[in-house]
Amino acid sequence: MQAPLPPIDFKAELNDEQYAAVTSEPGPALVLAGAGSGKTRTLTYRVAYLLHQGVQPYEILLLTFTNKASREMLERVEELTGINGRQLWGGTFHSIAQRILRVHGDLVGLQRNYTILDQGEAEAILKNVIQTIDSKFIKTKNNPKPKVVADMISYARNTCREPREEADERYPFLDGMADKVDKFYKAYKQAKLDQQVVDYDDLLEYFLKLLREQAEIREQYQARFKHILVDEFQDTNRLQSDIVDQLAGHHQVMAVGDDAQCIYTWRGADFDNIMQFEVRHPGAEVHKIETNYRSSPEILGFANAVLASQPSGLGFSKELRAIKPSRERPYFVPVMDTRGQAKFIIERIEGLVDEGRNLSDIAILYRAHFQAMDLQMELTRLKIDYQITSGVRFFEQAHIKDFTAQLRFASNPADVSAFARFTCLLPKVGPKTAERIHKFTRERAAKLEKNFCDVLVSPEVLKKVPADAKEEWPSLAETIREVSAALTERAPEEIIQLALDGWYSSYIREIYPNWTDRADDLQSLVSFANRFETMEELLAQLVLLASESNERSPEEQQNCLRLTTIHQAKGLEFPVVFVIGLADGTFPLKRTIDAGDLEEERRLFYVAVTRAEEELYMSYPMLNNQGNQVMRLNPSRFIQEIDPSRYETLRVAPTRRY
């Protein structure tokens, strides 16, 4: 018999909104927990409340998006109730799926000893399948590489579409691509089944198949899990919401989330899941938790105004209310350009430190990685310690280093390591092959008394290139030759643009699923190059910046400035937040404006401003310097929509004249 639980005064420990959700009657419930409103507290107290009502631990299923979230919630439940968290069924959708498939997988064709593939292993099987079906596919220029095909198939599966539809949408200009991807997908599926291995998407698909096709199993788990709680419901994809629907046939389900923070549709999250919850679970109670414990009233007033600009009926209406005392209004800061932006931010950071802030109190958020390039350079120059939590530093990224290697080599053909860096991107070219090609070209150039880069495009050199790389070699070699020839005649920004228009731009399209983000990063190097007189200066700076490390010990992180994309900042909070690049075309990004994805961009802006606890600065670069062109930028439409009384415009002196 279970020991009596320690008493909890739910009324005293929760606010009225949280208490209403936590103590709601069994049945379907949608809890709309606004930013900073105590979502995790509400969920954990709901579990504790159910246990206090006599529900057995094993009758509760808690579904989360990360193992960390699951672990933290179960630990908190243990603290509150004394019941070991392992007695509850808590975990990510994938972990719960694999646990149930270990027992019943044979009903959908899986033996109990099936193994789970990591991403690299799954891609290796797919690559092998592609080569077996069409040996020329991977080698053919313009065709997506296996990693991109894998990403396309995975996105289709998570959104419950056929991979052929996704291929048709992404590659309408490549004849027969949809049919090929369809064949690859079917063969990939069979190959995994033959080997009794599964990828991450299989776990969800097989679990859903089991619940849909095996009524006895479905009813068994519906009877077992009398209460289902789902965290971050706005981030669920179609597969996950269908799994919830199958398990919650009894409608004893509580979904917790915030439609205003749905920012992952590009990863497969379905905004309709949270919006249609009441349709899928009739009679659902909707609880709004709008008391915010994070931000000042002025920041929340601004955040509420961001949501109020949504087209009517698109999201649930909500109004965050502050508990914290009043402070200054958010600041909107027009600056001359991205260098002026960096100068303003650093001066303000120095002021904040003088006022007693730690660097770790401050975060700088941006829509895309390249927007923080100038800031990173200036922080490095001034030796202000910072950490990037959304990946490596800008100049450390693989595509920046690959591209820089081409410039380095065109400038100095004796640089064998730079030559190996980009030639090894071609199939079947390793370091030794690269060295052999370099040696042959060098000797041939000396014999003919010609420039190395001119000889690189010759038929003799092409003969030394492995067969699999022969198709791409002429384009690569011609790009290097053109860049080399331009070094003495053109300005650095023109040389960068010339290199960008060459081989590497088509290479990244085939190799990276997120090639558009990488193309934006590379394009930003044009305006970066504009500030240098010579390529020697530019290359020296690129190499120095690329040698910076982003690794920090826990002690160093204690007083370290945080730079991150907004997507990576979700769930975090900081006393002081800077949101940079607030010009139309950079936030919202131009391609999202063109694609009509404005509402997700607006939600992303809402997530950005609600990270701030006490001070919020939003900077707007008025000019964009692209090569010899200076373009005037408009303030972000998300700022223009808001009543100016909600913020204070801060004027800063320009850094230089144009």
Catalytic positions, written as ranges: 39-40, 231-232, 261, 611
315 annotated binding-site participant: no
**Dist CA 473 CA 480 (whole Å):** 11
288 labeled part of a ligand binding site: no
Whether 619 and 627 have beta carbons less than 8 Å apart is answered as: no
- The torsion angle over the Cα atoms of residues 482, 484, 490 and 494, rounded to 10 degrees, is 60
What is the Cα–Cα distance from 233 to 279, expressed in whole angstroms? 15
Annotation-wise, does 441 bind a ligand?
no
Rg (CA), the chain: 28
**Do residues 292 and 321 make contact, with C-beta atoms less than 8 angstroms apart?**
yes
Neighbours of 637 (CB within 10 A): 18
Annotated ligand binding at 66? The verdict is no
**In terms of residues, how long is the chain?**
658
Query: Which residue's structure tokens are 């800077």?
Result: 578
On whether 40 is known to bind a ligand per the annotation, the reply is yes
Q: Find out whether 38 and 287 touch, Cβ atoms under 8 Å.
A: no
The sign of the torsion formed by the CA atoms of 576, 580, 583, 589 equals negative
In the chain, the amino acid numbered 59 is E
Take residue 645 and report the two structure tokens written for it. 């009384």
39 is in an annotated binding site: yes
Q: Is 391 annotated as a binding residue?
A: no
Q: Which residue from 345, 330, 341 is spatially nearest to 386, judged by alpha carbons?
A: 345
One-letter amino acid at 198 equals V
- Beta strand segments in 211-270, E: 227-230, 253-257
Tell me how far apart the alpha carbons of residues 184 and 598 are, in angstroms, rounded to a whole number.
Answer: 34
Residue 402: in which H helix or E strand, if any?
helix 398-411
Instruction: Establish whether 36 is an annotated binding residue.
Output: yes
Pick out the residues of the known binding site: 33-40
Pick out the residues of the known binding site for ATP: 33-40
